[in-house]
Structures are given as structure tokens and as C-alpha cells.
Amino acid sequence: MPLLYTDAEYFMVDSLPPKREVVKEDIMHDKWSGYNGYLDLSIDLVNQKIEFGESSKEEIFKSPLHIGTGDIELYSKGGYYQPFLRAGNNLFVSGSSIKGVVRSYSEALSSSCEGNQCNGDRLCPACRLFGCVSKGSGRRNDFNYQGRISISDVYFAENIKTSILKIPLRWGGKNREGRRFYWHCDYRAYEDINNVETEKLEIVLPPAGVTTRLYFENVSKQELGLLFLAMGLDPKHRFPLKMGGGKNRGLGSVWFMIKNQLVIGKSEHYYSTYDPEPQASKEDFLKTCLDQHLKTFNEEDRIIIDNNLKAFNLNHAYRTRSKAKQEFEQQVERNKDKYSRR
Ligand SMILES: [Zn+2]
């Protein structure tokens, strides 16, 4: 089972050893093969009722979004805040940062390396799909692969309201090797926590969301299956993903959903028709792709994938407000020097 740390704001999941393959010509970018197309995705900030415990208590789980710029700005009420990323006047999320989020879940749900570690022309499934910059040296290892997934940049509506949220400093606690994913919890768990350093972030509050377009090129059904699984789109394994800043302070929980139809073509059909399989509904196509991906694992590996999916499930990955607050206070107590360093 995934390792659970009650002293941290995250849990760890197990990894499968990377299964690397030579990048074959048919997935290079100079010709069409496999499936090509796009799907429109809505990304919505989590805003829902959660039931927990044996007596089915409930609380509202709201998760704001903060996409940082690395800059700070003067706050009218004093001090500084970290603004939300903007392009012109619009709040903005870059497609590459959304791609990074999907990639990290894809890595945990396939036999992939952790974050672009492949070298040479033998790549793991995530590097083959999302791309890879070779860190090797010499002619043989000098191999950069563009990947076959791209995601459009998205803008929030011009009139969207933002707020300034004060959160405890995002000092992350102990470092552990491995894949970490942050617990989901309501951002108000961290209100009323005294005697800790705080920082201010510009956030968008739910209900809010954006729509983006994910393009895929020369992919197999199996690879689409991995993508669907990693975006929490499998009806049997729905889960919200975490993106942006403040993930350890109840921010950045989002649901992905396919909007409208999936526009897909198979190699030679690409320009002539977008729907080579008109008999199959979107749901059937999704299921076929998911099955193709999941059947690539042997029994032992499948147990790890299933455990990781269970770990991502909101029932498992949700910390109630009181639990998150209590754990945070214990963490502060253990690390007094780090939380009150100024
Ligand atoms: Zn890799």
C-alpha cells in the first residue's frame, strides 16, 4: 500500500521500475501514425460536500488556485503578496504547467522514470509521451524528444475576482525520497493558526474553472488510456489532481473532465475525417483505451497501480479540516526553530 505519513502534508506512492524502449520511427514527428486529435478539458476547482467517518459527518471542501510568478507585490493593507500569473490583464495558466501535473500522475500510473530521467534513445512511457531532454553527454546520448502531447495555455475570464489569502509559510517538512502527492483538504484548515510565519497569495476561489485543449499526435490507444487514467477520468477511478502553489495548504485541488466530444482521427484519416469510429461512443472509446493500458501490467505490477489509484481516490486522500489543523500544529511543535526563524 502507499506509505502514509501522519507527520507530513503528503503521502508517498510506490513506483514501478521504468520499462524503457527505443523510440521507434513511427512515433517521430515527421509522419502520422496511430491516433491524432484533441480533447477539450475543463479544469474546475474542487467545491463540494465531503462525507467522512463512520457517522458520515460532512464538511464543504473548497480548494482555491494559486499559480505563482515568483514575484512579489505590495499589498494595500501592508506587507507583500505573491500575485497570480497574468498575461496582460488576464489570469493565466500555462499549458506546460498543466502538462507537468498530468505527467506526474502518469509517471505514478505506469512503468516510468521520475521526472525526465531517461537518457539516450531508450525512453520510459512518460518520456515517450510527454517528451524528454537528454541529460547525457556525447553523440549517442544526445537525444531530445519532443513528446506527443501538448496542452493549450488558458486564461480566466477578465472579470474574475481574486482574493488575498494568508497561509502558514510553505516550509515542507522532512524530505523523503520517492513520489509524493499532497493530501487534499479545505484551505480553511489553516485559518486561526497562531505563532507561525505566514505568507500571502493571490488566489481564485471556487466555483471557477478554465477550459483547455489537449492535443495528441501519433499515440496508441494504450497511451491514451494512460492519459485518461492520469487525469482521473476513469469512471471507476475518478480523482482530483493537485496543481499550482500552496498544495500543502489546501490549495490546488482540481477536477479534470472531458467537455463535449473527443475529436480523434487515425493516421491517414487525419485531415479527411475526425471520427473514424462513429459507432463508438466517447465512453466506449475511453473504456477501450483504459483497458488497453491496464492490461499491459502483470499481476504484481497491477497491484501497485491499483494501490496508487486507491491512494489518489478522494476518500483516501482527503484530510478533514480538524485533522489537517491538528497535524500541522504537531508539525510546527516538532520544528519550532524552522517555523519561527524570523
Ligand atoms: Zn523517462
Measured in Å, residue 108 CA sits from the centre of ligand 1 at 12
Give the torsion sign (CA, 7, 10, 14, 17).
Answer: negative
Answer whether the bond into residue 207 is a cis peptide, omega within 30°.
yes
At 58 the three-state DSSP class reads strand
> For 120-137, what is each residue's pLDDT tens digit?
778 999 999 999 886 655
Find the helix or strand (DSSP H, E) in which 290 lies: helix 282-294
Give the SS3 label for residue 219: strand
Distance CA(199)–CA(277), nearest Å, equals 52
Residue-wise pLDDT for 225-264, tens only, equals 999 999 999 999 999 999 999 999 999 999 999 987 677 7
Residue 282 Cα to ligand 1 midpoint, Å, equals 30
Query: What is the torsional sign of CA 275, 278, 283, 285?
Result: negative
Chain centroid, CA 28 distance in Å: 26
Find out whether 171 and 180 touch, Cβ atoms under 8 Å. no
CB atoms within 10 A of CB 319: 22
Looking at the chain, the number of H-run helices and the number of E-run strands are: 9, 19
Q: What is the pLDDT of residue 195?
A: 80
Q: How far is the CA of 102 from the centre of ligand 1 (A)?
A: 14
Which one, of 234, 216, 214, 10, lies nearest residue 109 by Cα?
234
* Residue with the three cell numbers 500510473: 109
The parent domain of residue 239 ranges over 3-339
How many angstroms separate the alpha carbon of residue 125 from the centre of ligand 1? 7
Distance 127 CA to ligand 1 centre (A): 4
| Of 223, 192, 51, 258, the residue nearest 127 (C-alpha) | 223
Distance 243 CA to ligand 1 centre (A): 21
pLDDT tier, 160 (very low <50, low <70, confident <90, very high otherwise): very high
Residue 292 CA to ligand 1 center (angstroms) comes to 20
Q: What is the pLDDT of residues 171-205, one digit of tens each?
A: 755 567 778 999 999 999 999 888 888 999 999 99
- Angle (nearest 5°) at CA 299 between 105 and 124: 40
Q: For residue 267, what pLDDT is reported?
A: 56
How many whole angstroms from 342 Cα to the centroid of ligand 1? 40
Distance 114 CA to ligand 1 centre (A): 7
Give me the mean pLDDT over the 200-227 stretch. Answer: 94
- Residue entry with cell 489546501: 250
How many domains is the chain built from? 1
Query: Measured on CA atoms in the order 242, 49, 312, 35, is the torsion positive or negative?
Result: negative
Which comes out higher in pLDDT, residue 139 or 22?
22
Report CA(26)–ligand 1 centroid distance (Å).
18
Candidates 105, 69, 38; CA nearest to 244 is 69
Ligand 1 mean position, distance from CA 229 (Å): 18
In this predicted model, what pLDDT tens digit does every residue of 259-281 receive, in sequence order?
A: 876 777 665 544 444 444 544 67
Predicted model pTM? 0.91
- At 269 the pLDDT is 47
User: Which of 297, 301, 130 has its CA nearest to residue 216?
Assistant: 130
CA of 216 to the centre of ligand 1 (A): 18
Ligand 1 center to residue 277 CA distance, Å?
32
Distance from the alpha carbon of residue 96 to the mean position of ligand 1, in angstroms: 17
Q: Which of 246, 245, 234 is nearest to 285 (CA)?
A: 234
Nearest Cα to Cα of residue 19 among 176, 226, 224, 214 = 226
d(CA 203, CA 68): 9
State the distance from the centre of ligand 1 to the C-alpha of 50, rounded, in angstroms: 36
Q: With H, G, I as helix, E, B as strand and everything else as coil, classify residue 245.
A: coil
Residue 122 Cα to ligand 1 middle (Å): 8
Give residue 126 CA to ligand 1 midpoint distance, Å: 6
Average pLDDT over residues 309-316: 94
| Residue entry with cell 500552496 | 246
Residue 117 CA to ligand 1 center (angstroms) comes to 5
Q: Measured between alpha carbons, how far is residue 287 from residues 78, 294, 307, 319 in Å?
A: 53, 10, 20, 30
Q: How far is the CA of 232 from the centre of ligand 1 (A)?
A: 21
Q: How many residues does the structure list for the chain? A: 342
Please give the distance, rounded to the nearest whole angstrom, from the Cα atom of residue 339 to the centre of ligand 1: 36
221-230 and 95-108 are packed helices; what angle lies between their axes, rounded to 10 degrees?
A: 100
Helix (H, G, I), strand (E, B) or coil at 314: helix
- Residue 32: its pLDDT value, please? 59
Backbone angles phi, psi at 242, to 5 degrees: -110, 130
Confidence bin at 42 (pLDDT 50/70/90): very high
CA–CA gap between residue 294 and residue 110 (Å, rounded): 9
- Tell me the CA–centroid distance for residue 144 and ligand 1, in Å: 12
